[in-house]
Structure 1
Amino acid sequence: MRVDLFDFELPPERIALRPASPRDAARMLVLAGGETHDLHVFDLPGQLRAGDCLVFNDTRVIPAQLEGRRGEAKVGVTLHKRLGPRDWQVFVRNAKRVRPGDVIDFAADVQAQAGARDEDGGMALSFLGDEPVELLLERAGQMPLPPYIASKRATDARDRDDYQTMFAREAGAVAAPTAALHFTPGLLDALDAAGIGHETLTLHVGAGTFLPVKADDTDDHRMHAEWGRIDAATAARLNAVRAAGGRLIAVGTTSLRLLESATGEDGIIRPFADETRIFITPGYRFRAVDGLMTNFHLPRSTLFMLVSALMGAERMRAAYAHAIAQGYRFYSYGDASLLLPA
């Protein structure tokens, strides 16, 4: 399938640089069957049914953005995927100035040694010393805001809270599961009162989620890998929801991708603890989810392809054109959409 079928023009001013406040005051475009509604996230309880279940990603974003030096050269590093207790796969800015074996000096006396380059355009990095890497990152790292925000303003103290969901528990992500940024304890209470349940799973989002699709055809795109887990008890509860007639609504594409990775052709969700490279494009038959709450995605991205697979490419192109015309805010700190296929 041609990648240019998923292209669209987005005015730069539609890119949100800060989240809505309060979080659930963000706008929400609802596509339910053939209908389209302009609402807000706090209207969510009225758009779902008693017995439905929202599925959240409880991954926690780590301060994975580092600025350092190799000699006189400035080097920027974004952690991408953990390879071991002290080893990470990373993307490097000014990578031509770094060779395998070089030591990079970061702030707060944090050092790491460069390893081999990889086929994704990054390299391996091993943190030196005996302190846990988590402590080193807390000292020297910053929240890894997406490039479309970081290129427009500096990361600051507010982002430590703004770029973390209320469900964040399992440290390991280098990008937030942004659909869940809209949720507040009050909204969760309202959903509970309406008989709408919720469950959590874990998918550690990698920086590869922001990589553009460079191929001309989707068949030639190599999807990045991310590690996820659904335990046996959670899988059993999710299966029970569907068996009772409830719908599973994934909150975010990360939750959806993990659910679909863990579900067999028979529609049964099974325990899962592994990497997934699932790449969902139009023509995919969904096995696990009945709907999706998600933010608005980049043109030509794997995530825009995913929502097009769920709702139809023409429907999503029209929905995005509507959102742009109506002033919706896009991307990680932007507004939400609720997608409920017929």
Structure 2
Amino acid sequence: MQLSEFDFDLPEDLIALRPAVPRDTARLLVSKPNHGIEDAIVSALPTYLRSGDVLIFNDTRTLAASLRATRAQRGPVGGPVSVDINLHQRVDGARWKAFVRPAKRVALGDVLTFHDDFQAEVSGLGEAGEVTLTFSKSGVDLDQAIAKFGSMPLPPYIARKRAVDAQDAQDYQTVYARAEGSVATPTAGLHFTPNLLKSLDEAGIESHWVTLHVGAGTFLPVKVDNIQDHVMHSETYEVSAQTAVAVARAKAEGRRVIAVGTTSLRTLESIVDQDGQITYGGGDTSIFITPGYRFTVVDGLITNFHLPKSTLLMLVGALIGMEALRDVYRHAIDARYRFYSYGDASLLWKAPTS
């Protein structure tokens, strides 16, 4: 398929710069095959599900992965320069892969200073501004330094319009975040509150958790005309035996499995072995889901509204079909839903297979 099939025009004022307050008062677009589109709010979600449904959440916790550093003066002229660092994938206890801007300001061997006792050496160079950083701290000490000197890695379409502030430290984190390691938040989960989780439980809807540490690579723009030529970055996941058993049991009993967010969906579709059995444990996934993909586990998806030409939009098109994708986004724009990370949500059901 061609990249142009996933393009659309979005009015600038529909990009949300702050989330709804409370979180579950965000709007919810519901789309089900042969049932059209319905407008609702997130707090009404239990009425659109049924007892025995299984919701799968991603419990990753987002790091303060956006950092400002100073590169020392080179040679007898010039002076120190500032660079922006966005961590995107942990390599080991002391090393991270990161994107640096402006990329031309750093070279192999440069030392970047975040604070007097907190530095990193550029120990590797990749493409498109990617570097490998070896920090002066490691393990828990490094995590604490990142938390102290970093800020929430808001997407560029928000950061370009306003500064990151203290409120984002709360807003850009799910209420159930547990396993620290992401550099972008699984934003569908931002709509859930303790009250909504309680309402789901009281309605007989099961909630289970997976962990996928979201890397910034997931959100990199697709730059090839033929989408099959795009290469996804790898991300690390962990699925407990309890969650795997719950999902397997639901599928065996004909109950529906709904992913909360594209990261949960990608994790679920990555834990099926060649015999169709649900597995558990940890690993890396670079699964790229595009139209034509046959879903093994997921029946529905709760997700926000995504960027044009993004891999996330392609995933949604694979789940609900391209005609439904166009209808959903046309309706969302006409009805003035709020888009992207701090925007509104949708509940989308898988298209019937032929």
Give the shorter-chain TM-score range: over 0.9
What does the per-residue CA deviation read over 1:150-195, in whole Å, with 9 as the maximum and x for residues that have no partner?
A: 1111000000110000110000000000000000011111111111
Give unmatched runs, 5+ long, in structure 2: 73-79
Task: Indicate whether 1:91 and 2:99 are aligned.
Answer: yes
**CA-CA distance at 1:275 after TM superposition:** 1.0
SS of match in other structure, 2:166: coil
Answer with 281-290 or 243-252: which moved more: 243-252
- Residues 53 and 198 in structure 1, CA contact (< 8 A), matched pair in contact too: yes
Give unmatched runs, 5+ long, in structure 1: none
SS of match in other structure, 1:309: helix
Match of 1:183 among 192, 198, 202: 192
TM-score (norm 1): 0.97
Residue type of the alignment partner of 1:38: D
- Residues 110 and 140 in structure 1, CA contact (< 8 A), matched pair in contact too: no
CA distance in 2, matches of 1:284, 1:266: 17
SS of match in other structure, 1:192: helix
- Residues 143 and 155 in structure 1, CA contact (< 8 A), matched pair in contact too: yes
**CA-CA distance at 1:265 after TM superposition:** 5.0
- Residues 185 and 214 in structure 2, CA contact (< 8 A), matched pair in contact too: yes
CA distance in 2, matches of 1:323, 1:331: 12
SS of match in other structure, 1:81: strand
SS of match in other structure, 1:233: helix
Task: Indicate whether 1:199 and 2:208 are aligned.
Answer: yes
- Residues 265 and 287 in structure 1, CA contact (< 8 A), matched pair in contact too: no
Task: Indicate whether 1:111 and 2:119 are aligned.
Answer: yes
- Residues 17 and 149 in structure 1, CA contact (< 8 A), matched pair in contact too: yes
TM-score (norm 2): 0.94
SS of match in other structure, 1:338: strand
Task: Indicate whether 1:134 and 2:134 are aligned.
Answer: no
Match of 1:8 in 2: 8
Match of 1:52 in 2: 53
What does the per-residue CA deviation read over 1:98-153, in whole Å, with 9 as the maximum and x for residues that have no partner?
A: 11111111146421111111245401001114671111111110010011111111
Give % identity.
54
- Residues 51 and 245 in structure 1, CA contact (< 8 A), matched pair in contact too: no
- Residues 6 and 300 in structure 1, CA contact (< 8 A), matched pair in contact too: yes
**CA-CA distance at 1:318 after TM superposition:** 1.5
Give runs of ≥4 in structure 1 deviating > 6 Å: none
CA distance in 2, matches of 1:289, 1:171: 25
Match of 1:307 among 316, 321, 340: 316
Match of 1:168 in 2: 177
Residue type of the alignment partner of 1:200: W
**CA-CA distance at 1:263 after TM superposition:** 1.4
CA distance in 1, matches of 2:20, 2:275: 40
Residue type of the alignment partner of 2:102: N
Match of 1:63 in 2: 64
Correspondences of 1:322-333 after superposition (within 5 Å): 322-333=331-342
